[in-house]
Structure 1
Amino acid sequence: MNGWIQAGTVEDLREQQPKLIKGGIVVFYHEDEVHALDNRCPHLGFPLHMGSLCNGILTCHWHHARFDVCSGGTLDPWADDVPVHDVTIHNGLIWVNPNSRNSNQVQQYKDRLLSGLEQNIGLVIAKAIVGLMEAGVPETEIAAIGIEFGVKQRRQGWGSGLTILVAMANVLPKLDKQGRILALFQGLLHTARESAGDGTRYLLDPLPNTGVSEERLTEWYRDCIEVRDTRGAERVLLTAVQARVDEKRLFSMMGMAATDHFYMNGGHTLDFHNKAFESLKYVRPDQHNEVLASLVPMFGNASRSEELNSWQSPVNLVQPLKEAFEDLSNMDFLSGSEGFCIDDEEMLQVLLGDDPLRTVRMLKEALLGGASPVRISQIAALAAAERIVRFHVHNDFGDWISVLHTFTHAHAVHEGLIRSTDSWLVRAIFHTASTIYLDRFLNIPAAPKPAAFVATEEVPQPAELLEILDKQQQVAPAAAWVIRYLRSGGKPEPLFNVLGHALLREDAEFHSFQMYEAAMAEYDRWASESGPFAEKARETLILAVTRYLAAHAPTSRETPHTAKIAWRLHRGEKLFEEE
């Protein structure tokens, strides 16, 4: 019995059971048989030797989880199965294999993650994430499990849960290990919550004729979306996927429909499209049709901003935009022409100004002159971030979401144009510019920017920011601390990590996840540039995300507490006090 553990005699066990042996294993004698299991209840780690064993069922006394003593299987889905150890008896002596029967831990953790998602059980999800990460499974592979689950298990299609999950997968490189655990848990938990009780989504079939031209499919798709025929649009889209239309052209086709109307669903439509296409790098190729088809249902009841009074009165924004789109309709933005060099600062100030017709004219002239749509959209995203920096806390608290929506939509436009500089998607730049204009009253009066600090030799510790955010209404102090940190030579990487923890330690609402991820992505775009304007842009983005997170903290922090429990259980820490 080389390597096995001697657990005494059968006779002694019968008289003095249960018995604890090294390796954290408990041995029971029950119904004339010997059983060996891990002693830690897989739910929250309570010692199973303190439980009750009756009729083949071992019950933990902390939360009454029940287990089949023979197989370790649980009768309660919120608890995991107990690892079971093989036992052999030789000459009356009990020998226990120190290695449990559970050989393929990775597959078991994946199965448990899927089970936790299906049943919306946070602790099961958290423990599976920790187990998979400790087993060396790539974190993006863990995220992919949730993405593939979410696009199938929510009849209404792509929503905020999947958007959070993809956003958190995108920011994993910004975070330390604990932060990455929290990011995956928040994303997967929100996906499970949003899918709970919604019903499985079944794909329609593509059209039988796959020889339809790409141009005709695009026309059909846009026509279906125009009349809110989401079922017809789904069949057309799946036909394009089956015909192997490449990802860039698929985005162009879907982007046309998403921008045929103004600022659809308050900017969420384009933002969700951007996140869904970003998720394609995480999921298997055979899941791309599921991901893209999940975007179609949102068009069924999408709001169209040109129908809103605020877009038509007192200033009519709709007609000037339609005229600009007509003038730009024949432009080829794929040719790479750079005949018009824009002044970044001038463009920024015009976007932040109070003359929307001037803004429309300037954007149109720049685009007609050959300016880069990607560059213009990048400056528009910066202007939207500036609205957040200037947002005064005397505004109604709910108005934070207004400036947030504009920023995340602007970010989606920027990323979308990087993916596909389509003449139709360029319309979304004007949608962004209009919402920046409509948000202007939220900067009257403008919040004062933090006072300039004289650089000191001692750089503040990033953890100090978390202490500031332990109190409510710390928007100004948090912004001031960030400026002091940056002006004292603080490195951005530790700051990004601590801002991530400032988000992930909270029971954050959907928009806070959007804010952090979009700000980090926009910062990275400016990080490749030098000069005063780029430096100012980077500072603006950090201030924007800091102010937004500070405005929405602290919360009860129940969600991250669950992840912390899972991490402590995996490390073998006690969550209870033994008598």
Structure 2
Amino acid sequence: MLVGALEVDSTPEKGHIPMSAGNGWIRVGTLADVPPGESRAVKISEGRSVALFNVDGRIHATDNQCPHMGFPLTRGVVKDGVLTCDWHGRSFDLEGGGCFNYECDDLETFPVDIRGDELWVQAGDATYRRRDQHLQLLWEGLLSGDSWTISKATALLLSGGVSEHDIVQLVLRHLGRHVASEQDAGGGGNIVSLLVSGLEVGRRYDGEDRLMALSLAGRAASGRASERLEVITLPPPVRWEQIDGWVRMFSRNMQDFRIERCLHTARENGQESHIFKLLFECAVAPYFLGFARNVA
């Protein structure tokens, strides 16, 4: 288990300055810079840094900013292949980057190549390629009514060059379902009024003020829509042995939403025959004995 990661100044020391070798590969240091059980943050460009983790002698590289609220992940904890942010507890598969929580984007992970004693990471460029993921994040925020998720998704989409028209179209689709399924005959008028007013105000401003108005408009249209959040499979590579260990760990902590994503991934990977045996073993674990509903 990796706990209390090593904190390193974001400005690399002399001799550790990232060097590019083309094809997106960047030299980020040496093996000696990341001792077993520790981690290190390395700045690779303005406003962008990677986190290096040495877990059981293997080096992993991820974006150092938690996709939830940007907290440095080098301050997190790694256990059983799961990286947990030290601020709000969002958990990620350290290898593939899949997040076990709703209302949080998956973590970007990078290939690592060890050349002699040098560490090279293929971080790629900063071209925006996450339009679909951030639209999904906005949809989740609209369903839950979480203001932070709505604001964050809207900001990410706008900064990525997604048009305001596309964002509003998604909000309107959600609003139609929300009003039709959760409001009475006259209950949607106030919501529509707030949405239209927010959009109208937003057109008069730029920058952060415009973002604030759009986010408030989205918050006004949010709410249940007679459907639940879609469960997404964890990004590969994910092996059954990992899923088995994660489900047992999450079961001990009664974290049902994390278990659900693991089991959904197993089913999509054709491992459905293993699921029932695992669930029964979890249900009759010593710390659950006496709770009959576990096997109901």
* TM-score of the superposed pair, with normalisation by structure 2: 0.59
- Which residue is equivalent to 1:117? 142
Alignment of 1:453-472 (within 5 A): none
Q: 8 Å contact 1:86–1:96 — kept in the other structure?
A: yes
Alignment of 1:227-266 (within 5 A): none
- Which residue is equivalent to 2:175? 150
Distance 1:58 1:98 in 2: 19
**Unaligned runs of at least 5 residues, structure 1:** 201-579
Distance 2:130 2:113 in 1: 23
Distance 2:33 2:198 in 1: 54
- Which residue is equivalent to 1:166? 196
Deviates more, 1:155-164 or 1:59-68: 155-164
- Which residue is equivalent to 1:191? 221
Q: Deviations over 1:302-353 (max 9, x none)?
A: xxxxxxxxxxxxxxxxxxxxxxxxxxxxxxxxxxxxxxxxxxxxxxxxxxxx
Look up the equivalent residue of 1:99 and give its one-letter code.
Answer: G
Distance 1:29 1:15 in 2: 5
- Which residue is equivalent to 1:27? 52
Q: Deviations over 1:31-88 (max 9, x none)?
A: 4432111112222222111111111111112222211111222222243322222222
Secondary structure in 1 matching 2:69: coil
Alpha-carbon offset, residue 16 of structure 1: 6.8
Alpha-carbon offset, residue 101 of structure 1: 9.6
Distance 1:141 1:169, change over 3 A: farther
Q: Deviations over 1:207-254 (max 9, x none)?
A: xxxxxxxxxxxxxxxxxxxxxxxxxxxxxxxxxxxxxxxxxxxxxxxx
- Which residue is equivalent to 1:77? 102
**Going by fraction, where is helix more abundant, 1 or 2?**
1
Distance 2:126 2:215 in 1: 28
Look up the equivalent residue of 1:84 and give its one-letter code.
Answer: T
Secondary structure in 2 matching 1:99: coil
User: Which segments of structure 1 move beyond 6 Å, counting only runs of 4 or more?
Assistant: none
Distance 1:41 1:181, change over 3 A: same
- Which residue is equivalent to 2:257? none
Secondary structure in 1 matching 2:105: coil
Distance 1:46 1:162 in 2: 35
Q: Pick the aligned partner of 1:51 from 69, 73, 76.
A: 76
- Which residue is equivalent to 1:18? 39
- Which residue is equivalent to 1:178? 208
Distance 2:166 2:35 in 1: 47
Distance 1:182 1:101, change over 3 A: closer
Distance 1:149 1:31 in 2: 45
Q: Deviations over 1:137-167 (max 9, x none)?
A: 2223211210111102331374433332223
Q: Deviations over 1:401-423 (max 9, x none)?
A: xxxxxxxxxxxxxxxxxxxxxxx
Distance 1:107 1:80 in 2: 11
Look up the equivalent residue of 1:43 and give its one-letter code.
Answer: H
Which structure would you say has the larger Rg?
1
Alpha-carbon offset, residue 177 of structure 1: 2.3
Alpha-carbon offset, residue 100 of structure 1: 7.1
Distance 2:40 2:193 in 1: 49
Distance 1:90 1:118, change over 3 A: same
Distance 1:100 1:64 in 2: 28
RMSD over aligned CA atoms reads: 2.5
**Unaligned runs of at least 5 residues, structure 2:** 1-20, 228-296
Distance 1:53 1:167 in 2: 46
Distance 1:75 1:51, change over 3 A: same
Secondary structure in 1 matching 2:124: strand
Distance 1:163 1:80 in 2: 31
> How many equivalent residue pairs?
197
Distance 1:14 1:30, change over 3 A: same
Secondary structure in 1 matching 2:220: helix
Q: Pick the aligned partner of 2:90 from 65, 85, 88.
A: 65
- Residue identity over aligned pairs, in percent, reads 29
Distance 1:174 1:9, change over 3 A: closer
Look up the equivalent residue of 1:177 and give its one-letter code.
Answer: G
Alignment of 1:297-316 (within 5 A): none
